[in-house]
Amino acid sequence: MADSEIIKALDMGGNPIAIDSVVRYLNTGTVGKVVDLKEDDEGIWVLVDTTGLYYKPETLVIADASDLKEERVERSSVADAESYMRTYGGGDDGIADVGQVTGGG
């Protein structure tokens, strides 16, 4: 597609979707900003920043900017990882030896 071609994406209600529009994905309620629009053999796709995924515009609705959540802070330190594992890791009780797993049949 040539750069001069403009992709016209419409949400479920027929409202235009443009880059920087705030949209909500209907199936999960995920809200994010549109960062890219592309078109291929399967139609038009909308890239949402919060998930990094492309969605069909028919599955999106225009949302209010107040629906956007505060910017997420990534945890990258060892202390953060250890804290996460203490909270959600479940300890060593769930570890099983699967060295001799065989299929039936």
What pLDDT is attached to residue 81?
72
| CA atoms of 35 and 50, how far apart (whole Å) | 10
Tokens of 54: 């492309």
Decide which of 21 and 89 is more confident. Answer: 21
CB 35 within 8 A of CB 55: no
Q: What is the pLDDT of residues 50-90, one digit of tens each?
A: 999 999 999 999 999 988 875 455 556 777 777 767 776 65
Given a cut of 60, whether residue 30 has pLDDT beyond it is yes
57: left (phi over 0), alpha (psi -120 to 50) or beta: alpha
Residues 6+ apart with CB under 8 A from 96: none
Q: What is the mean pLDDT of the chain?
A: 82
